[in-house]
Chains A and B, each alone.
Chain A
Amino acid sequence: DGGITQSPKYLFRKEGQNVTLSCEQNLNHDAMYWYRQDPGQGLRLIYYSQIVNDFQKGDIAEGYSVSREKKESFPLTVTSAQKNPTAFYLCASSPRGLGRDEQYFGPGTRLTVT
């Protein structure tokens, strides 16, 4: 089955630790995205990538980092610099990253930092 996988589903970390969230897609999509969702809120864009080895900051990139070394993979690292890292993190992809393309979302990773 084609789709987007995120792992793990739940992640717990101590404050001050960096943590990396996995996102893999086998849809052969060029563009990939990371969003963050807080309780009762809509999604906010963290980073996006339209092509391998290139990525751009979204609206709330501070305290996060990404890499795009392979077309299928777009891991997100939540660093200790992120002041409020506890959230639901969603990865998405789209065929070409154009305005007319739909985005396909993964199941999400719920990160809790204490």
Chain B
Amino acid sequence: DAKTTQPNSMESNEEEPVHLPCNHSTISGTDYIHWYRQLPSQGPEYVIHGLTSNVNNRMASLAIAEDRKSSTLILHRATLRDAAVYYCILNAGGTSYGKLTFGQGTILTVHP
């Protein structure tokens, strides 16, 4: 499985934008880039995913590098509720049956 590399932790101030980076240099052409986040003692929550083009939804934006070897999750205005562990995951297409391989993730701290 292709792996991802994320910083262990990041900090932000409330109402400021947050850019969470992810490196995936061994990504294959059929791998989708997924982002999930998890609060303590809760199940992960889907945030966003994409293949090649940048994506926007109500929660965040996903910027994907042209060579697809890295991506950035953008929270446009961080709130205290955005404090969580953020996981960048490659979800292979084809016959992988949507298997998610979680790494350590990035712990995001949001200061009031």
Contacts and interface: CB of A to CB of B under 8 A. Distances in A.
Bound together = yes
A97 B91 CA distance: 10
B16 to A, nearest CB: 27
A45 B98 CA distance: 11
Interface in B22-67: 30-32, 34, 36, 41-46, 49, 51
B20 interface: no
Contacts, number: 73
A64 interface: no
A48 to B, nearest CB: 6
A101 interface: yes
Given A48-B99, A98-B93, A43 B49 contact: no
Give the dominant DSSP class at B's interface: loop
A97 B46 contact: no
A12 B81 CA distance: 31
Nearest to B87: A42
Contacts of A110: 41
A25 interface: no
Interface string A18-41: 000000000000010101000001
Interface of A: 4, 31, 33, 35, 41-45, 48, 50, 56, 58-59, 88, 90, 92, 94, 96-108, 110
20 contacts: A4-B43, A35-B102, A41-B104, A45-B99, A48-B98, A90-B43, A94-B98, A96-B98, A98-B97, A98-B98, A99-B30, A99-B91, A99-B98, A101-B98, A103-B46, A103-B98, A103-B100, A104-B46, A105-B45, A108-B42
